[in-house]
C-alpha cells in the first residue's frame, strides 16, 4: 500500500456526541476526504461541502435505503457502498478499513460516541487497533477529544482553559512520565482500573510526555471539559 497524496480524512459516524455545528463546518472545509458511516451522513448532508463516500448497511440513516435519493447525491460526486446488515464489522470499522486501504495516515473521527455505550467503547478500541496498523485516528465530540499514543515521547498541545487531560491504558506493562503538568509523573506504572492519571492539566507548552510499553502498547489520551451552562 502506497500512501496517497491526500493524507487527512474525516470520518463521520452515527453517534450523537458531535462537535458544535460551526466546528463541524470548519472540519468539513479542511478535510481532504470525507467518508460517512451510515447515519453519519445525516449529520453532514446539510452542510455545503462535498461528501466523498458513504458506507454501511444503511439501516440507520433516514433515507439512504432509497436508491432514487442516493442517485441525487451520486450526481454530486458521492459514492455509496452498501454492506449486509449481518456482517462481521461495524460501519465505523468498515470505513476505517477502507481509509487504511486507500493509504490515509491521519483520520479525524466524529460521531464515535453516543447513547450506545457498546458502540462507544468499540469505537474507542478502534483507535488503538488502527494505531498498531500505522494510522493516527483521533476522535472528537462536543466536550472530548481522544487519541491513542503508542510508545514514544510527545509534546502535547496546550489545551484551552478548563480542559482536563487524562490518560488510560488497557495494556499491562505501560510506564508513563509527565513533565510540565500540574501533576508530573516519573515512570509511573499505569494499569487499567487506576484513576491516578485522571484530570490533569498541561502547564507548559514545553511539556514532555513519555510512554514506555512492553509489547507495543500505549495510552489513551483524553482532552475533556465540563458541559457549558446554557
Domain boundaries, the chain: 8-142, 148-225
Confidence of residue 228 (pLDDT cuts 50, 70, 90): confident
Question: What integer is the mean pLDDT of 92-103?
Answer: 94
Asked whether 217 and 127 are in contact (CB, 8 A), the reply is: no
Span 30-79, pLDDT tens digits = 999 999 998 899 999 999 899 999 998 776 666 777 788 888 889 999 99
pLDDT at 175 over 80: yes
Q: State the average pLDDT for the chain.
A: 90
Coil, strand or helix at 26? helix
Span 7-37, pLDDT tens digits = 899 999 999 999 999 999 999 999 999 999 9
Question: Could you give phi then psi for residue 54, rounded to 5 degrees?
Answer: -130, 130
| Cell numbers linked to 188 | 509511573
**DSSP designation for 90:** -
Q: What is the pLDDT, as a whole number, of residue 68? A: 85
Question: What integer is the mean pLDDT of 174-187?
Answer: 97
Buried b (16+ CB within 10 A) or exposed e, 25-41: eebbeebebbbbbbbbb
CATH T-level fold of 148-225: Rossmann fold (3.40.50)
Which of the following CATH numbers is that of domain 8-142: 3.30.460.10, 3.10.20.30, 3.30.420.40, 3.40.50.10240? 3.40.50.10240
Can you tell me the distance from the alpha carbon of 67 to that of 76, in angstroms, rounded to the nearest whole number? 14
**DSSP designation for 95:** H
Confidence of residue 133 (pLDDT cuts 50, 70, 90): very high
Q: What is the pLDDT, as a whole number, of residue 214? A: 81
Q: What is the pLDDT, as a whole number, of residue 1? A: 44
pLDDT at 210 over 60: yes
pLDDT at 126 over 60: yes
Q: What is the pLDDT, as a whole number, of residue 220? A: 97
Confidence of residue 101 (pLDDT cuts 50, 70, 90): very high
| Cell numbers linked to 21 | 455545528
Q: CB burial class (10 A; 0-12, 13-18, 19+) of residue 153? A: exposed
pLDDT at 98 over 70: yes
Confidence of residue 207 (pLDDT cuts 50, 70, 90): very high
What is the pTM (predicted TM-score) of this model?
0.90
Q: What is the pLDDT, as a whole number, of residue 5? A: 55
Question: Could you give phi then psi for residue 100, rounded to 5 degrees?
Answer: -65, -45
Can you tell me the distance from the alpha carbon of 98 to that of 77, in angstroms, rounded to the nearest whole number? 18
- Say which range, 1-5, 127-131, 146-150, 157-161, has the weakest mean pLDDT: 1-5
**Domain 8-142 matches domain 148-225 at the CATH topology level:** yes
| Cell numbers linked to 195 | 484513576
Can you tell me the distance from the alpha carbon of 99 to that of 212, in angstroms, rounded to the nearest whole number? 28
CA 76 to chain centre: 27
To which residue does cell 499491562 refer? 172
To which residue does cell 501533576 refer? 183
Task: Categorise residue 115: left if φ over 0, alpha if ψ from -120 to 50, beta otherwise.
Answer: alpha
Q: How many CB atoms lie within 10 A of CB 219?
A: 26
Buried b (16+ CB within 10 A) or exposed e, 167-205: bbbebeebbbebebbeeebeebebeeeeeebeebebeee
Amino acid at each position: 500500500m502506497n500512501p496517497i497524496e491526500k493524507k487527512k480524512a474525516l470520518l463521520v459516524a452515527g453517534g450523537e456526541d458531535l462537535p458544535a455545528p460551526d466546528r463541524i463546518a470548519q472540519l468539513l472545509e479542511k478535510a481532504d476526504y470525507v467518508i460517512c458511516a451510515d447515519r453519519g451522513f445525516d449529520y453532514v448532508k446539510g452542510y455545503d461541502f462535498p461528501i466523498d463516500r458513504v458506507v454501511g448497511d444503511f439501516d440507520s440513516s433516514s433515507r439512504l435505503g432509497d436508491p432514487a435519493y442516493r442517485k441525487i447525491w451520486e450526481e454530486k460526486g458521492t459514492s455509496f457502498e452498501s454492506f449486509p446488515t449481518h456482517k462481521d464489522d461495524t460501519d465505523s470499522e468498515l470505513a476505517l478499513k477502507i481509509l487504511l486501504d486507500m493509504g490515509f495516515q491521519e483520520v479525524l473521527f466524529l460521531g464515535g460516541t453516543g447513547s450506545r455505550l457498546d458502540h462507544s467503547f468499540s469505537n474507542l478500541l478502534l483507535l488503538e487497533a488502527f494505531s498498531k496498523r500505522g494510522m493516527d485516528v483521533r476522535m472528537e465530540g462536543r466536550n472530548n477529544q481522544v487519541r491513542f499514543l503508542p510508545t514514544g515521547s510527545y509534546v502535547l498541545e496546550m489545551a484551552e482553559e478548563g480542559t482536563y487531560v487524562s490518560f488510560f491504558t488497557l495494556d499491562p506493562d505501560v510506564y508513563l512520565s509527565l513533565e510540565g503538568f500540574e501533576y508530573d509523573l516519573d515512570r509511573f506504572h499505569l494499569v487499567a482500573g487506576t484513576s491516578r492519571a485522571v484530570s490533569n492539566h498541561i502547564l507548559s507548552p514545553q511539556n514532555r510526555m513519555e510512554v514506555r510499553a512492553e509489547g507495543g502498547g500505549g495510552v489513551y489520551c483524553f482532552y475533556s471539559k465540563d458541559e457549558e451552562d446554557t
